[in-house]
């Protein structure tokens, strides 16, 4: 069977060039006689891999010198605990809840201190981003937290919230490296890589150095202390070596594409093809207000659950896979990450157009 067009929200499509390179090096990485899966994380080979990956990421994102780059494990969900454990000096954190992942982070932080929901879009099924220009920021808030791109509901912060001087922490899992980010606007910008960068198992956290201290909540596990990981350059214990290796290859692929500004331009073109069709369609409808639409995750529905199911079944048979919406919302969702080619979006829209003609 040939390659399908994989619209999965994550683990998600990777650049074919990266997969081919990894396949060629599977049995023997650069004359080592070993796969990267087999080599010691203390070896010279892996030391070069992780250092080069960090250098390329710093180049791509223009990461300032006073930020540490950490390659971590445990998924973004583990950071829902690690962040309050490390940052809650005053015991207060403010949350803008725009979807399930921000909601989970908010609930988790409530175990360690006072978590305050200062804005939410739950009243309209997370279909929009609330106005964040003048929020009731708590005077004692240690940080303000957002999930910048909502994978499930397909929304995206186009303007960062006004935190009134408080540290901004952002989960960018599903928009990581899809466009430029001004890292200095964040105290922590982090995300799981399995949506837009690499295989599941790696979390990249970019943390301003003044937030990395020994002053953490009592009982914070050694592994969840930012300082533990920073002091050992992500090598306190065995890291997810192969995942980091693939991330490094994706960083180089992104640089070859022209960097993040070029990727944003391409992603805007791909998303426009899909959203323009949804806006004109008599059958399919997008579920997000236009001004808050994500470039990465586009949910849509027909309004008929049986027709949704038929569409997903026929699309899968035609080679457009993983279009079923998240179990919590139903419908469909096309995740069109960096590695999804323009051709994939064009062919999906052509299929949707035919399906509409045949089923209206």
Is residue 6, in this structure, part of any structural domain at all?
no
Is residue 145, in this structure, part of any structural domain at all?
yes
**Rounded CA separation 16/11 (Å):** 15
Contact of 310 with 317, CB cutoff 8 Å: no
pTM higher than the cut 0.85: yes
Looking up residue 329, the CATH number of its domain turns out to be 3.90.1150.10
User: CA 82 from chain center: how many Å?
Assistant: 18
What is the dihedral sign for C-alpha 217, 208, 177, 236? negative
Same domain? For 41 and 90 the reply is yes
pLDDT of amino acid 330:
84
Same domain? For 36 and 53 the reply is yes
Same domain? For 173 and 312 the reply is no
Domain stops at, among 256, 282, 299: 256
Cβ neighbourhood burial of 96 (10 Å; 0-12, 13-18, 19+):
buried
Contacts of residue 117, defined as CB under 8 A and 6 or more positions apart, other chains included, come to 95, 97, 106
Is residue 4, in this structure, part of any structural domain at all?
no
pLDDT in tens, 243-252: 999 999 999 9
Mean pLDDT score, 138-154: 97
Same domain? For 354 and 237 the reply is no
Is residue 331, in this structure, part of any structural domain at all?
yes
Read off φ and ψ for residue 92, nearest 5 degrees.
Answer: -135, 135
Is residue 9, in this structure, part of any structural domain at all?
no
195 catalytically annotated: yes
Q: Which residues of 29-50 are buried (b: 16+ CB within 10 A; e: fewer)?
A: beeeeebbeebebeeebbeebb
The residue annotated as part of the active site, out of 68, 156, 166, 195, is: 195
134 catalytically annotated: no
Contacts of residue 60, defined as CB under 8 A and 6 or more positions apart, other chains included, come to 177, 251, 254, 255, 259, 260
> Where do runs of H (alpha helix) occur along the chain?
16-24, 44-61, 75-87, 100-109, 226-231, 241-256, 260-280, 305-317, 342-359
pLDDT in tens, 308-331: 999 999 999 999 999 999 877 889
Please report, rounded to a whole number, the percentage of residues in the chain having pLDDT higher than 90. Answer: 98
pLDDT in tens, 50-105: 999 999 999 999 999 999 999 999 999 999 999 999 999 999 999 999 999 999 99
Same domain? For 200 and 139 the reply is yes
pLDDT of amino acid 339:
97
The residue annotated as part of the active site, out of 171, 249, 292, 308, is: 171
Same domain? For 252 and 326 the reply is no
Same domain? For 239 and 338 the reply is no
**Angle formed by the axes of helices 305-317 and 342-359, to 10°?**
130
Is residue 5, in this structure, part of any structural domain at all?
no
**Would the pLDDT of 278 be above 80?**
yes
Domain stops at, among 198, 224, 256: 256
> Does residue 336 sit in helix, strand or coil?
coil
**Would the pLDDT of 142 be above 70?**
yes
Same domain? For 146 and 249 the reply is yes
Contacts of residue 354, defined as CB under 8 A and 6 or more positions apart, other chains included, come to none
The residue annotated as part of the active site, out of 56, 68, 94, 101, is: 101
User: For residue 333, what are the β-bridge partners?
Assistant: 299
Nearest to 352 by CA among 294, 255, 279, 252: 279
pLDDT of amino acid 210:
97
pLDDT of amino acid 310:
97
Mean pLDDT score, 147-172: 97
pLDDT in tens, 204-260: 999 999 999 999 999 999 999 999 999 999 999 999 999 999 999 999 999 999 999
Domain of 46, in residue numbers = 17-256
Is residue 10, in this structure, part of any structural domain at all?
no
For residue 148, give Cα distances in angstroms to 51, 169, 189, 190, 313: 27, 10, 10, 10, 31
> In the structure, what pLDDT confidence band is assigned to residue 1 with cuts at 50, 70 and 90?
low
**Would the pLDDT of 111 be above 90?**
yes
Looking up residue 155, the CATH number of its domain turns out to be 3.40.640.10
Is residue 3, in this structure, part of any structural domain at all?
no
Q: Take residue 103 and report the two structure tokens written for it.
A: 């909601």
pLDDT of amino acid 327:
77
Same domain? For 62 and 198 the reply is yes
171 catalytically annotated: yes
pLDDT of amino acid 10:
94
Domain stops at, among 256, 281, 298: 256
Same domain? For 248 and 270 the reply is no
Residues composing the chain: 360
> In the structure, what pLDDT confidence band is assigned to residue 2 with cuts at 50, 70 and 90?
confident
**Rounded CA separation 322/236 (Å):** 36
> Does residue 288 sit in helix, strand or coil?
coil
Maximum CA extent, the chain? 63
Same domain? For 205 and 314 the reply is no
Residue 357: count other Cβ atoms within 10 Å of its Cβ: 10
Same domain? For 124 and 244 the reply is yes
Contact of 302 with 283, CB cutoff 8 Å: yes
Contacts of residue 280, defined as CB under 8 A and 6 or more positions apart, other chains included, come to none
Question: For the chain, how many structural domains are there in total?
Answer: 2
For residue 351, give Cα distances in angstroms to 5, 48, 271, 347: 12, 45, 16, 6
**Rounded CA separation 231/35 (Å):** 28
């Amino acid at each position: 069977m040939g390659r399908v067009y994989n619209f999965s929200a994550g683990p998600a499509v990777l650049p074919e060039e990266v997969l081919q390179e990894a396949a060629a090096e599977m049995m023997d990485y650069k004359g080592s006689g070993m796969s990267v899966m087999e080599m010691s994380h203390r070896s010279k080979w892996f030391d070069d891999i992780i250092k080069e990956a960090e250098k390329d990421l710093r180049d791509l994102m223009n990461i300032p010198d006073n930020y540490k780059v950490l390659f971590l494990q445990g998924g973004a969900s583990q950071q829902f605990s690690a962040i309050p454990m490390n940052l809650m000096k005053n015991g207060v954190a403010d949350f803008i809840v725009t979807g399930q992942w921000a909601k989970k982070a908010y609930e988790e932080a409530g175990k360690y201190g006072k978590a305050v929901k200062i804005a939410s879009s739950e009243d309209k099924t997370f279909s929009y981003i609330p106005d964040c220009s003048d929020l009731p920021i708590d005077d004692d808030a240690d940080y303000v937290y957002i999930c910048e791109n909502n994978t499930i509901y397909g929304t995206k912060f186009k303007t960062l919230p006004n935190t009134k001087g408080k540290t901004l922490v952002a989960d960018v899992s599903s928009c990581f490296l899809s466009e430029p980010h001004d890292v200095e606007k964040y105290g922590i910008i982090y995300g799981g890589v399995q949506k837009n960068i690499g295989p599941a198992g790696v979390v990249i956290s970019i943390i301003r150095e003044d937030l990395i201290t020994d002053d953490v909540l009592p009982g914070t596990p050694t592994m969840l202390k930012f300082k533990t990981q920073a002091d050992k350059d992500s090598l306190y214990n065995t890291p997810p070596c192969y995942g980091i290796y693939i991330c490094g290859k994706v960083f180089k692929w992104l640089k070859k594409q022209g960097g993040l500004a070029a990727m944003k331009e391409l992603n805007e073109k791909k998303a426009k093809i899909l959203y323009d069709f949804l806006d004109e369609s008599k059958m399919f409808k997008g579920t997000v207000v236009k001004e808050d639409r994500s470039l990465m995750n586009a949910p849509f529905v027909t309004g008929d659950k049986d027709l949704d199911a038929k569409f997903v079944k026929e699309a899968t048979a035609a080679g457009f896979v993983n279009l079923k919406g998240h179990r919590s919302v139903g419908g469909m969702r096309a995740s069109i990450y960096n590695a999804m080619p323009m051709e994939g979006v064009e062919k999906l829209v052509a299929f949707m157009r035919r399906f509409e003609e045949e089923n209206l």
